[in-house]
Structure formats: structure tokens, C-alpha cells
Chain A
């Protein structure tokens, strides 16, 4: 019984800790593999409701497709990649650089997730952390999760994914 509880608690701790920061559900990904990003938005701007969530796509994360969300308008900003990425033999030279979910309503007291997927390039360095700067916009302000310094004491760190050694994946 005790062991079961402990295990459950540990799993709970691993799976969905009550984090106050905007973070990804899965915090590591394989180099050269696809990754489903689930951005967890734990609170508003102070006490205000969030109406827009913007995520910047970093270089090296390509073939990005956001998941539409009921009650939210979905838009993307596309642009050229710094270098072409090989997608199953097709050279991709441009794609999504920014995702915008807008015209929604996420009160401070509620929680929500914003989903997109894409692929990490195979030549990204293992053990590095790739950041996806994200900004919540509210009627009277914003919460900008854009600190990419990696400082554990950062007040508003950007959501990041740690890259681990990849096998081949598809």
C-alpha cells in the first residue's frame, strides 16, 4: 500500500507537477526525431485572463504543425529557414516560425494546454536545451516566458526541451 502510494506520488511528480511556469509536458526529445510539444499555461498575467498565446519556433525545429484549439483563432507566421532540412527526402527551406492562438479566454483560475508538433534536426547538439520563447497576452499586460539564460533562478524562463541522443525515429 505504502509502496503503491509512493509510486503514484512519484509518477504524479514526474507527470504533472503543479508548476507555476509555462513549461512543456515532455521536457526532453531525441535529436533527429519528431516531438509533440504540449505547452502548459498555469496562470494568467498576474490575475488577468489570457487571450493570446504566442510561441516562437527556434531554428532547428522544422516541419511544424500546430493543433487547432476550440474557442481560439489559430495563425502561423512562416519564413525561410536558416538552412534546408531534409524531410523524408524533401528539402524544406521554409516553414512555421511563430504560432499564435488568439481571441481565446483562459481565466487565471483555469489551466490549459497548447499543442504543436515538429522535428528536431539531426545535427543539433546532444545535451543542449532548445528554448521556445512564449508570450501570454492579457487585456492589461503580458507574461513573457522568454528568458533563455538557463538560470534556475530566472523569474520567467522560456519553456525548453533538453535534447538527448536520438536513434532514428518516424
Chain B
């Protein structure tokens, strides 16, 4: 009886007092603070309200997207204690819907990170300049040494390798055997973003061995060892050559380009042809004054290698440059251009050797031998420079990759409007993770509008993430432009956004819409 009467009278009072007096609990504080970056995971999250509340739904969303319903483990009180057991690194969201005495549900979300912000693939860091220089040096040394050692051994398949060429070839193999593992370790440092000191720990080695460079470097080292053996056994030299080609095809930009069934054999052919040609130069030059068999066979065989080299090179360059001319000015393309210029010099020297000097040398002209040796030395020098340049490709994504990456890194965009006020939201990058939010506020004709505050409320209904509230700060000197530089939206999907715009001290307007993150 009493309850019924009370209920009726309460309803009556509601009817009279509605709508401005609908009351509900207010969230006063959270521990940890919203948006906090913590070193250690908290044992629990605490939400303090101004009055006792009862949880309707409390959910924890882990960095990997796993959702846990914690509703049953939480007792209603003024302070809700949400236990979180053994949560790991990354960005976590605790989302709730609680109800106070008036029965009005109050939603909210709390976002915090442990150790690092997550939500998207880590943006590759620029990396340490010293580490990058060392990587370049190791990669260039490895490439040059391998070409010299393996190519020199392969020359032995055409003609006897002169005695005095053996020492430099074995030396080159030794350099390759040192540079290859060094490159692997440095690659690991780069991948982990660590300094040189970390080379003493297993971490960078394990990290690098797990990438395509692991097997690639192992094959390159095997090729170097086989090249030494190849000085005595032809079959080992041939095997070294094939292994070197496969090693380079197994890693790097070009071998990763689509279609791999085409690009990988092209890379292998390119490497083998290059090695046959350039690697033959040292034993060739050293054999000129004693035995011209090498020169005869070389000049008969190498044009085919040059054709294969040029053909595979053109095909790979076409794939790597891609169709988007806008990206052809990228560092990758500049390295390619420099390489082509040097290649023209090498080809001119080779042509001079082939057509002007080969006949006199074969005829026993001592001066021609000297000139050809000088020509070969220059050719080798240019080839070394080309290999050095090519090692720089390690750091430059090819234009094809830039063109593919462009849409992923592009911004997400939302246009919100009422009759009198409009806003553009630009989220960069337009994917889950740390985001810079740029907000342009304008009047009905999108002329910049000067306002005194802007607050963004974001929720992700599909993941049950209730409103995250983030205030924007004005961009100095630009009317109507506001920013939230350190926004973290941990999950992709269609976020519901509400922009509260404080037009003046006593007036505001709210614009609503959606923002889709990849």
C-alpha cells in the first residue's frame, strides 16, 4: 500500500518536475586517470561517483580486443572497484553503464595504457643514424664481398683462376662471412629500435633471425664458404652462385613485390648475372698477361649475362616504381637514377674493353693489356659504387609500397553539422591507435567560427565502448581550428562522435556523427 502510494506520488512529482530535473549520478574521479600511461598494471580500476551506483554492465577490453564481462565481480557502492587480474602491456578500455537510485543509466569509458599505446601496427621509427649507417656499411660490404668472392669462383668455371687472384677472393669471402652476421644483428637492432649495446644480448639476433633476413643471411654465408671451395671444385662455385641468387631473392623489397612468382626468380637472375659479370673482373684482370683463355671465354659469355642483367633489372624497376608517377621522386627512385648513370659508365667501359681492346690483347699487345686492366679497375670501382648505392635501398620503401601505404596512412574524415554550425573532424592516421584529431569549426557556410571550447565524445557501440570524453585545445592563431593531439582510439570500427561546441559562456551546441577508423 505504502509502496504503491509512494510510487504514484513519485510519478506525479516526476510529471510535474520533468524534464529539467531528471537527475543522475555524476562521476567524480577515476583511478587511474582517464588517458593515463602507467608503468605497471593496476590491480583494480576505481570509479568514484557522487552517490551510490549499481553496475549494469562493466566490460574490460584488452589491447588485443578480447572482451571480459566483469559486471558480476563488482559490488554497488559510491566507489566501484573493478578488479583487473594479470593484464598486459598496451592500451586497455574499461567501459561501464551504471545506474543510480533514479534508474537512469550512466555510461562512460576509461582508457589507460600500460607501457605503450597500442591499437595499430607500430609506426616504424626513424631509427638511430649511427645504427642505420652501420647497417648500410654492413649490407654494402656483404654485397660487394659476396659478388667478388662468388663471381671470382664462378670465373673458375670458364677458365683457370690465376694464383694471385686466390688471395683477394678468399679475403672477400672472409669479409662476406663477417659482414653477413653483422648485418643480421644490426637489422635486429633496427627492428627493436635498440642501440649498439644491445648487440651483446640475444634479443636483436633472435628478432632478425625470425625475419626473412635470417635464412637469407644464412644462405649468403653458405655461398661465401662454397665460393672458397669453388676455387678448387667447379660444382661448388656453381652452387655458390645459385645460393647467392636465392639468398637475395628470399628477402628485401624486390623479392617481396607482387607477383612473387615473377619477382623472386627475377631477383635471382639479376644477382647471378651481376655476379658472373662483376665477380669475373678481378681474376680476369689478373689473368690477362699470362693466359688469354679467360678473356676469350669471358667476352663470349658475358654479353648474355649483361642482357639477363638488364632485362631483369628493367622488369624489377617497372614493378618497384609502380604506376603512380607522383612517387617517382622518392629516395628510392633517386637511388635508381644514380645507379643507372653509373651503369651507363660501366657499360661504356665494358664496350671499350670489348670492342677496342679485346682484339689487341688477344693478339698479345702489352700496352692494350695495361689499358684493359685500367678499364677493368674503373669498371670494378663503378660496380662497387652501384652495389653501395643499392645497399641504400634497404632504407627506402619503393614507390609501389608508398602508393600502397598511402590509403592506410590517410586520414579518416567526418563532417558534422546543424543549421548554424558545422564541423569537420580529421583523424590522422585514419586507423586505430594514437591519432591526432584536427577539428575545423565553421558557421552554416563553413566560414571559420570563433568558439571558446570544444569537447569530443567518442563511443564505439559495436564494441560496447561508452563515451570517452576528450577536450580539444585551440590551434594558436587559426580561427575555428581545434586539436586533440594525443587521442588514443584503440579499436577500428565506426565510432559515434558528438562534438560539444562551447559557443559562448552560456551557450553550446552539440553536433553528432560517425567516424570510421580502419
Residues in A neighbouring B508, C-beta threshold 8 A: 144, 146-147
CB interface residues, B 123-149, toward A, < 8 Å: none
Once A14-B16, A27-B17 are accepted as A-B contacts, the answer to whether A20 and B24 lie under 8 Å apart by CB is yes
Q: Which of B1, B2, B10, B506 contacts A135 (CB 8 A)?
A: B506
Asked if residues A23 and B20 are in contact (CB atoms below 8 Å), the reply is yes
Once A6-B9, A135-B506, A144-B502 are accepted as A-B contacts, the answer to whether A159 and B23 lie under 8 Å apart by CB is no
> In whole angstroms, how far apart are the Cα atoms of A56 and B1 in the complex?
45
Asked if residues A160 and B20 are in contact (CB atoms below 8 Å), the reply is yes
> In whole angstroms, how far apart are the Cα atoms of A147 and B19 in the complex?
13
CB interface residues, B 450-484, toward A, < 8 Å: none
Q: Which chain B residue shows the least CB distance to A12? A: B13
> In whole angstroms, how far apart are the Cα atoms of A153 and B510 in the complex?
13
Residues in B neighbouring A70, C-beta threshold 8 A: none
Residue A13 CB within 8 A of the other chain: yes
Residues in A neighbouring B17, C-beta threshold 8 A: 14, 17, 27
Asked if residues A133 and B507 are in contact (CB atoms below 8 Å), the reply is yes
Once A46-B29, A133-B506, A146-B506 are accepted as A-B contacts, the answer to whether A6 and B13 lie under 8 Å apart by CB is no
Q: Which chain A residue shows the least CB distance to B503? A: A146
Asked if residues B29 and A13 are in contact (CB atoms below 8 Å), the reply is no
A110 to chain B, nearest CB (A): 13
A129 to chain B, nearest CB (A): 7
Provide the A6-39 mask, 1 if CB < 8 A to any CB of B, else 0: 1101100110011111010001100000000000
Asked if residues B21 and A19 are in contact (CB atoms below 8 Å), the reply is yes
Q: Which chain B residue shows the least CB distance to A141? A: B471
Asked if residues A152 and B507 are in contact (CB atoms below 8 Å), the reply is no
Q: Which chain B residue shows the least CB distance to A46? A: B28
A113 to chain B, nearest CB (A): 15
B205 to chain A, nearest CB (A): 51
Residues in A neighbouring B505, C-beta threshold 8 A: 54, 56, 135, 144, 146
Residues in B neighbouring A21, C-beta threshold 8 A: 20-23
Once A2-B2, A9-B6, A14-B16 are accepted as A-B contacts, the answer to whether A146 and B23 lie under 8 Å apart by CB is no
Asked if residues B21 and A150 are in contact (CB atoms below 8 Å), the reply is no
B147 to chain A, nearest CB (A): 67
A94 to chain B, nearest CB (A): 19
Once A6-B2, A135-B506 are accepted as A-B contacts, the answer to whether A18 and B20 lie under 8 Å apart by CB is no
Asked if residues A27 and B21 are in contact (CB atoms below 8 Å), the reply is yes
Asked if residues A20 and B28 are in contact (CB atoms below 8 Å), the reply is no
Residues in A neighbouring B12, C-beta threshold 8 A: 10
Asked if residues A20 and B26 are in contact (CB atoms below 8 Å), the reply is yes
CB interface residues, B 231-257, toward A, < 8 Å: none
Asked if residues A20 and B20 are in contact (CB atoms below 8 Å), the reply is no
Q: Which of A23, A43, A98, A144 contacts B21 (CB 8 A)?
A: A23
CB interface residues, A 124-160, toward B, < 8 Å: 129, 133, 135, 144, 146-150, 152-153, 157-160
Once A5-B2, A152-B18 are accepted as A-B contacts, the answer to whether A146 and B507 lie under 8 Å apart by CB is yes
Residues in A neighbouring B18, C-beta threshold 8 A: 152
Residues in B neighbouring A17, C-beta threshold 8 A: 13, 17, 21, 23
> In whole angstroms, how far apart are the Cα atoms of A150 and B26 in the complex?
19
A158 to chain B, nearest CB (A): 8
Asked if residues B10 and A13 are in contact (CB atoms below 8 Å), the reply is yes
Residue B404 CB within 8 A of the other chain: no
> In whole angstroms, how far apart are the Cα atoms of A130 and B51 in the complex?
29
Asked if residues A157 and B20 are in contact (CB atoms below 8 Å), the reply is yes
Q: Which chain A residue shows the least CB distance to B101? A: A18
> In whole angstroms, how far apart are the Cα atoms of A47 and B503 in the complex?
25
Q: Which of A9, A98, A150, A159 contacts B9 (CB 8 A)?
A: A9
Residue B122 CB within 8 A of the other chain: no
Residues in A neighbouring B16, C-beta threshold 8 A: 14, 27-28
Residue B318 CB within 8 A of the other chain: no
Asked if residues B20 and A129 are in contact (CB atoms below 8 Å), the reply is yes
Q: Which 10 A/B pairs are nearest by Cβ-Cβ distance?
A: A10-B9, A133-B506, A56-B506, A19-B23, A160-B20, A14-B13, A152-B19, A6-B5, A13-B13, A20-B23
Binding site for A on B (CB under 8 A): 1-2, 5-6, 9-10, 12-13, 16-26, 28-29, 50-51, 104, 502, 505-508, 510
